[in-house]
Structure 1
Amino acid sequence: MPVDKPLRCAIYCRISLARHGETIKVDDQERLCRQVAQERGWTPVDRLVFKDNSISAWRRDVRRPGWEAMLEAIGAGEVGAIIVYHGDRLIRQPWDLEVLLRLADERGIRLASPTGTRNLDDPDDRFILRIEAAQACRESDNTSRRLKWHYEKQAARGITRLGGRGGRAFGFEPDGLTVREDDAAVIREVARRVLAGEPIGAIARDLTARGVTTTTGGPWDHSALKKLMLRPRLAGLVARKGSIVGPAAWPAILPRATWETVRATLERKASGFGYATNARRYLLTGIALCGTCEQPLVVRHNTRPGLTGYGCITRSCTKKVHRAIHHLDPYITGAVIALLNDPMVRARMQPETTVDVTPLESELTEQTASRERWLVAAAEDPRLGPDLLRVTVTRIDARIEELRALIAAARRPTVLDGLWGIDVAGWGRLDLHRRRSAVAALMRITVFASGRRGPGFDAETVRIEQV
């Protein structure tokens, strides 16, 4: 092979996907490019070696820092040649080529790879490069289309990409299909605590304190734990583009009705719990309302023993109220326990379902079997095109979703489950989050200013309305 005129050359290496940040493949590309430089007598400069590891060149909105740095070096006149392992490592879209050609104008930059050399200043070479870029763009589009159809078929069969960091999804083994029981126990615990009214942030802190970590070994926080509990995967469901498309190929960790209730609980905007700093310490903070301005009461501390209480801090309130904690908490506790032992309240708030779900469950079984028969037939008969399969499966899935919603509605758990008939001792054993949730679920509390002075408690200044 003839030796060219010595040139200062840049080396560009790129790979679209590198697992766990590995660099071996781009390092191999650099080694081969240096061999090309040696054969041609070109001079590679270490600071002109540019790498984009695990970065695609197909999407226009994806930045390539190495590519951008190389263009700057070309514009500064530091580069006489570029060596790349293969042309598609450098260019996957025509606009990339045009940017490169614009900078290369009048500079006579050479482009080399183990498969040959192009002169970016030569019209014939530019023509060939434009054809190659168009072919690479077409192949990228075809690959994208094939992958989208593949993922749609996989989703229809109840299979989805595992995704996530740490090599697996929390709750499952790396294969994405086998449940990891110790993780599953954590997920079920979190679901119970969320339905009991405990804040997701408090649960995350408790898990971290106990040494329970994410799949990457990091601590749990509010955001990470909430995202985990919102995933349809936990209920044995496959989601595609934000919508549930059907049952999954893996077993459910949570019953669907439970997961849907957890999701609704987490997505519902918190109301009346704006004072997070002391909401975890007192029963009625943010729940009891001022009878004058109807704003939530907060804890007001006093240096005198026994005077710490709930008070209004709204500046515009004309007649602020204040009630001692040691008076108001026991009064409300008694009222809550009375309601939880009232059969009429229970019948109203948790009525026995009159819906016979047996026919719904039978139809659900038949619809699920029908769906599976269509998928098997599509796999065996190529005449059943993707459009027919998609329309049919979508129609069946819509009915399955409707049936599941009807069944779930008849069995939906609430934050009051397990509390009906509770006594004083049982109430005292509940954690504060559970007690606060029960109070908020059962009643609206309004505290009015008292017209009398002196010690004691005036029950007439507290209005309790059943929710």
Structure 2
Amino acid sequence: MQSNPKIDIYARISKAPDGSLEKTDRQIADCRAELERRGLTLGEVFQDPNLSAWKRGVRRPGWDALLKRIGGDEPPVGVMVWRLDRFMRHLNDLVTLRNLAGEGFTIATCFGEQYDFEHNWGWTVMRVTMAEEESKSNSVRTKRGIRAVRAKGKPSTGLRAFGWAAAPKEGQEPTSPDLVAMEREAIAEAARRYLQNDELNVIARDWNERGVRTSMGGTWTGVTLRQMLGRPRNAGLVEHNGQIIGTFEDEPPIGRRTYDRVMAKMAGAKRGRPVSAKRLLTGIAQCGNCDRPINSRNRSGKYYADGFERIMYYCPSARGCGKVSIAQPDADLAIKAFVIRRLADPRHAGQLAAQAEEVRKVDEEIAQVESIQRVLNRKFFDLRQITEAEYNEHDAKLMGDLKALQARVQTAAAPDPNLTAPGAQAAVRERWLRAETPERRTLLKAALGTQKLYIDPVATHWRQIKITDRLRIE
């Protein structure tokens, strides 16, 4: 038996019956005053600010520390709380407390209530059970309210969605109708461009350059644009917990058919980062040691004499051997000479013509498959004449055909017929100098044809080997 029994205090943030917040500092002050009024000795103070006693899985450090002290060598004889139904919300918490404390433990409140496990066990269980049921009811009412608001086509949160006006709030300026109209036009534009095979990253960069911002004032990326276009609200559909429960009152930015096509394309799009075409050889050249595609990178802090940052082509160690690298300017210069020489060589003209004919035939087959695919899309998305299973079956076959045909196209790029005429070398050089990197990559593919470009590792000391000796075409 303790010579000087002590009462601990426990507080957590909660709502009072009138809906106001009762912060822990105020609760602790009230508990201290009540202990002093009763002539009791204060032990330790425990609190959990901003933590719910209802949500399962939420760790409450203050509550855990109180239980540890009650089960320790010098436990308090009781605990003072602001209100009993704000002390705990689960019956399991009460059972845990009783098992640790024993029957002599007392729970007191600032409102004159006092319970001990020996005489008031049944009453205490009833009060905590009522608090638990109250929390359940509050949760159900809140969710029902959110669902009802969304079913009416109104936003259920304070955050404004892109292309939609914010929920009206007292003292807050309403959303500009001109801003909403501009954003809706942007959504329709993005959906149209995406269905016309524009990359989402390209659309995002275009929006950023034009000053189109997110609803929070931020810039766009391909990821955020994809997330925005995939929201059912763009087609006027109200979604709640993954289910469509209604439609918005306002006219949507895009129609249901357009939205379905956007979602179908997103579902069929290959995820992951595409091979970068920023530099001439990335994704075209292969490592001569392990056959992996070559990447490129800037060497941070390393500069050439002309002030430009050093750039290297390299085999990445994550997916390759990591043992091959070469300076980008030197490699590009050697490849430039190869492309001009190869495309201007009359002996290469026959091979180029054969490649051009192959590309023409494959293009015709691709056009035929795409025509069939358009008919299939119309029957499913517009006319609803076939089931989703039938559509998926036929679409998978068509996509397989397209993938195979596109692979054939990549083996031979169509050359310019003028490049094999007299004076072709000067024409090729002039075209190369005028071209940006994407067109230079096309010229390189035309020069390679069905052959492959390899970058070999250094066999001897790097000062004793020429760059051209490390570039192998076969």
Task: Tell me the TM-score normalized by structure 2.
Answer: 0.53
Q: Is the 8 A contact 1:50 1:70 kept in 2?
A: no
1:112 deviates by 0.6
Distance 1:357 1:206, change over 3 A: closer
5+ residue gaps, structure 1, are: 18-22, 274-278, 365-398, 417-423, 463-467
- Corresponding residue for 2:14? 15
Q: Does 1:351 align with 2:371?
A: yes
Count of residues in Structure 1 that have an aligned counterpart in Structure 2: 376
1:360 deviates by 7.3
Q: Is the 8 A contact 1:283 1:432 kept in 2?
A: yes
One-letter identity of the residue aligned with 1:231: R
Q: Is the 8 A contact 1:310 1:325 kept in 2?
A: no
Q: Is the 8 A contact 1:272 1:287 kept in 2?
A: no
Q: Is the 8 A contact 2:238 2:244 kept in 1?
A: yes
Between the aligned residues of both structures, percent identity stands at: 23
Q: Does 1:326 align with 2:349?
A: no
Distance 1:140 1:229, change over 3 A: same
Aligned Cα root-mean-square deviation (Å): 6.4
Aligned-partner SS, 1:173: coil
The higher radius of gyration belongs to 2
- Corresponding residue for 2:63? 67
- Corresponding residue for 1:137? 132
How do residues 277-288 of structure 1 correspond to structure 2 at under 5 angstroms? 279=276, 281-282=278-279, 285-286=282-283
Query: Which whole-Å deviations, capped at 9, do the CAs of 1:346-387 have from their partners, x for residues lacking one?
Result: 6236427447959976889xxxxxxxxxxxxxxxxxxxxxxx
- Corresponding residue for 2:247? 248
Q: Is the 8 A contact 1:292 1:448 kept in 2?
A: no
Distance 1:89 1:265, change over 3 A: farther
How do residues 25-424 of structure 1 correspond to structure 2 at under 5 angstroms? 25-27=21-23, 30-31=25-26, 34-35=29-30, 37-39=32-34, 41=37, 48=45, 50-53=47-50, 55-72=51-68, 74-75=70-71, 81-105=78-102, 108-114=105-111, 116-120=112-116, 122-144=117-139, 157=151, 159=153, 162-163=156-157, 167-175=159-167, 180-181=180-181, 183-184=183-184, 192=193, 198=199, 200=201, 227-241=227-241, 243-245=242-244, 248-249=247-248, 251-254=251-254, 255-257=258-260, 259-260=262-263, 263-264=266-267, 268-270=270-272, 273=275, 279=276, 281-282=278-279, 285-286=282-283, 295-299=292-296, 314-315=320-321, 325-326=335-336, 344=364, 347-348=367-368, 350-351=370-371, 353-354=374-375
Distance 1:104 1:68 in 2: 14
Aligned-partner SS, 1:351: helix
Q: Is the 8 A contact 1:12 1:82 kept in 2?
A: no
- Corresponding residue for 1:369? none
One-letter identity of the residue aligned with 1:348: Q
One-letter identity of the residue aligned with 1:347: A
Query: Which whole-Å deviations, capped at 9, do the CAs of 1:55-112 have from their partners, x for residues lacking one?
Result: 4333322223443344445556575554444333222211111222234336633321
Distance 2:8 2:211 in 1: 52
1:130 deviates by 1.1
Distance 1:271 1:174 in 2: 34
Q: Is the 8 A contact 2:290 2:321 kept in 1?
A: no
1:12 deviates by 1.1
Aligned-partner SS, 1:238: strand
Distance 2:207 2:5 in 1: 62
Q: Is the 8 A contact 1:8 1:80 kept in 2?
A: yes
One-letter identity of the residue aligned with 1:263: M
5+ residue gaps, structure 2, are: 169-174, 299-303, 344-351, 397-401, 407-415, 417-432, 456-465
Task: Tell me the TM-score normalized by structure 1.
Answer: 0.54
Q: Is the 8 A contact 2:294 2:314 kept in 1?
A: yes
Aligned-partner SS, 2:113: strand
Aligned-partner SS, 1:124: coil
Q: Is the 8 A contact 1:288 1:446 kept in 2?
A: no
Distance 1:233 1:196, change over 3 A: same
Structure 2 residue corresponding to 1:447, chosen from 436, 452, 458: 452
Distance 1:264 1:46 in 2: 61
1:127 deviates by 1.8
